[in-house]
Amino acid sequence: MPTWVQLVYLACAVCFILALKGLSGPKTARAGNLLGAGAAVVAVVVPFIYLDLDHVGLIVAAIAVGTVIGVVGAQRVQMTQMPQMVALFNGVGGGAAALVALLELDEMVPHAGSGGDISWFTLAATAFTIFVGSVSFAGSIVTFAKLQELMTSRPVVFPGLPVVFGLAGIAAVVLGVLTVTGPSVFIGIDLAVVGLVVGLLLVLPVGGADVPIVISLLNAFTGLTVAASGYVLSNVVLLVAGTLVGASGTYLTMLMAKAMGRSVSNILFGALKGGSTLGAGEASDRPVRSAGPEDVAILLGYADRVIIVPGYGLAVAQAQHTLRELVDVLSSRGAQIDYAIHPVAGRMPGHMNVLLAEAQVPYEQLIEMDEINGEFKNTDVVLVVGANDVVNPAAKTTPGAPIYGMPILNADEAKQIVFMKRSMRPGFAGIENELLFDPKTTLLFGDAKDSLGKLLNAVKAL
């Protein structure tokens, strides 16, 4: 590899690090994203310049097809579907790494069999990439299907699942050892198949609100496979990029699990003992206090302190622009208004931040849970728009509940609570929210965008 290529790859690796740093803040996120994307394009183009590649036409065609799919997908995907898109892209990355490792193994076999200098560590890294990449691919496809409602979001378990999972793990270890001691493409393919099985068995028992956490974990898996493939291919860009993704994905998984108040092992295997966040659930027929937009407008119009709790329902209705307009009207009349952001509101970390940023909501108004929880007791009205589990007191009061122990927003401490909901169906955790039946709570039923539009007109008419 020429020196200039190594320097270019080193520059690309530095750009990836700077891009990740840029993504850590809203003001620099766009620039960070562009910097990382630009570095990736340069890294892809460089081999065409200094290598005498075979099948250039097929490679360019594959890049063209991938580019078209990526651009069209990015333009058409809704914010509510972003987690599914992340899951798909992540799965494709893991699958691609596994396929590349299989091809590299095919290249290594003749050299290893003739006493070549293929080290055991390179073979071990190849086996790791094949297995973990396959796990990430299969698991990501299942998470996509769950979030896209192509299959049930509830845990899928069957008798003997732990036994089958354990046997698959043992088989993976045996095949990995065989790949190192007696490398063979057929052994590599068997290892990939076992990886697919492990990926399926790992994610099927996960349900409901736990799925985004598993996506983050699988993202870390894909990063590790890319890093391992970077070692196999002696490519510093892949090594650095994969390490960054693996490290950040692991850290994000830990943060999300902490936000849910549960361990990663409980999230992955909790359904085997009834502890997973289940999802689904039936609509309650218990009586509640409901009101029309005019009554809620009076509550908001005369409130000095208001906190908005956004959730997945806001994203589904694409009502963020109407909500921003309502907040502007109330603020112009002297009300102090902030948005309370729970770490796992929506279906992915930062979901609400991105959604509200799209509506040009000042970032200073987006207050994280730990900072705003002490403010609820001094709040006149809390307006919950499409959220449920993140304000459910069962997380603090009901041992045995799927979300018990999860830190929540203390909306129940406010003087008045207004819930905007389509129906009385429970949240993604599949359990009732006792806050809905609190004497301080008023429900405004209907589509969030339609209800917010009527509420906005009623506030203007005061």
For the chain, 462 residues long, the average pLDDT of each consecutive 10-residue run is 90 94 84 95 93 90 92 82 85 94 88 66 94 96 88 82 92 95 93 96 81 87 94 90 92 80 73 54 75 93 94 87 94 94 79 85 89 94 91 86 83 94 76 89 92 94 87
**Number of CB atoms found within 10 A of residue 285's CB:** 7
Contact 348, 212 (CB under 8 A): yes
Residue type, 119: S
Of the candidates 153, 362, 163, 120, the one whose C-alpha atom is nearest the C-alpha of residue 272 is 163
Residue 401: its pLDDT value, please?
75
**pTM listed for this prediction:** 0.79
Contact 58, 47 (CB under 8 A): no
Residue 281: its pLDDT value, please?
57
Contact 378, 423 (CB under 8 A): no
Contact 361, 328 (CB under 8 A): no
Q: Which of 210, 389, 438, 447 is catalytic?
A: 389
Orientation of helix 82-113 relative to helix 351-358, angle to 10°: 130
Domain with CATH 3.40.50.1220 in the chain: 293-460
Exposed/middle/buried for 116, CB within 10 Å: 0-12, 13-18, 19+? exposed
Angstrom distance (rounded) from CA 391 to CA 386: 11
Q: For 378, which DSSP code?
A: G
Residue 85: its pLDDT value, please?
86
Contact 207, 274 (CB under 8 A): no
- What is 293-460's CATH number, 1.10.600.10, 3.40.50.1220, 3.40.640.10, 3.40.50.970? 3.40.50.1220
State yes or no: is 389 an active-site residue.
yes
Angstrom distance (rounded) from CA 210 to CA 256: 9
Q: What is the dihedral of CA 398, 399, 401, 402, to 10 degrees?
A: 130
Of the candidates 458, 188, 429, the one whose C-alpha atom is nearest the C-alpha of residue 301 is 458
Residue 26: its pLDDT value, please?
73
